[in-house]
Chains A and B, each alone.
Chain A
Amino acid sequence: MGAFENIIIILYLALIGYLGFLGYKQTKNTTDYLIAGRDTHPFIMALSYGATFISTAAIVGFGGVAAWLGNSLLWLTFFNIIIGIFAAFVFLGNPTRKMGYRLNAHTFPELLGKRYNSKFIQMFGGSIVLLFMPLYATAVLIGGTHFISLYFQVDYHAALLVFSLIITVYVIAGGLKGVMLTDALQGTIMFIAMIILMFVTFDALGGIDQAFSKLDNVWTQTVGSLSDTSLKELQPGGPDFMMKLSTLWGFTGWNSMPSFMGPGWLFVITTITLGVGIGVLAQPQLIVRFMTVKSKQELNRAVLIGGVFIVSMTGIIFIVGSLTNAWYYEFNDGKNALQSAGSIGKVIPHFINTAMPKWFSFIFLFALISAAMSTLSSQFHTMGTAVGRDLIQQIKPKSNSVTVTRLGIIVMISFSVSLAYAFNEQPAIIARSTAIFFALCASIFLPSYIAGLFWKRMTKKGAIASMLVGLISSSFWLVFVHFKEAKALGIAKALTGSHSVLSGKIIFVDALIIALPLSIITAIVVSLMTKKMDGKHLDKCFSD
Chain B
Amino acid sequence: MTGADFGVNLAFYLTIFSTLICVAYGTLNWNKGSTDKSKGVKNWARTEDKIDEGL
Contacts and interface: CB of A to CB of B under 8 A. Distances in A.
Interface residues of A, number: 50
Nearest to A252: B5
Interface stretch (A81-89, A364-372, A450-458, A514-522): A81-89
B51 A104 contact: no
Contacts of A301: 26, 29-30
Contacts of A307: 18-19, 21-23, 26
Interface of B: 1-8, 11-12, 14-16, 18-19, 21-23, 25-27, 29-41, 44, 48, 51-52, 55
Contact of A300 (B8, B33, B38, B44): B33
Given A90-B25, A297-B33, A256 B4 contact: yes
A340 interface: no
A105 B8 CA distance: 42
A299 B36 CA distance: 13
Q: Is the interface of B mostly helix, strand, loop or mixed?
A: helix
A101 B5 contact: no
Interface of A: 28-29, 31, 37-38, 70-72, 74-75, 77-78, 81-82, 85-86, 90, 94, 98, 101-102, 104, 208-210, 212-213, 215-216, 253, 255-257, 294-297, 299-308, 311, 315, 544
B39 A544 contact: yes
Nearest to A37: B48
A294 B36 contact: yes
Given A28-B52, A81-B18, A308-B19, A255 B11 contact: no
Contacts of A302: 26
Given A255-B1, A544-B37, A38 B26 contact: no
A217 to B, nearest CB: 9
B22 A86 contact: yes
Contact of B33 (A209, A253, A295, A308): A295
Nearest to A217: B3
Contacts of A306: 22
Nearest to A257: B7
A101 B3 contact: no
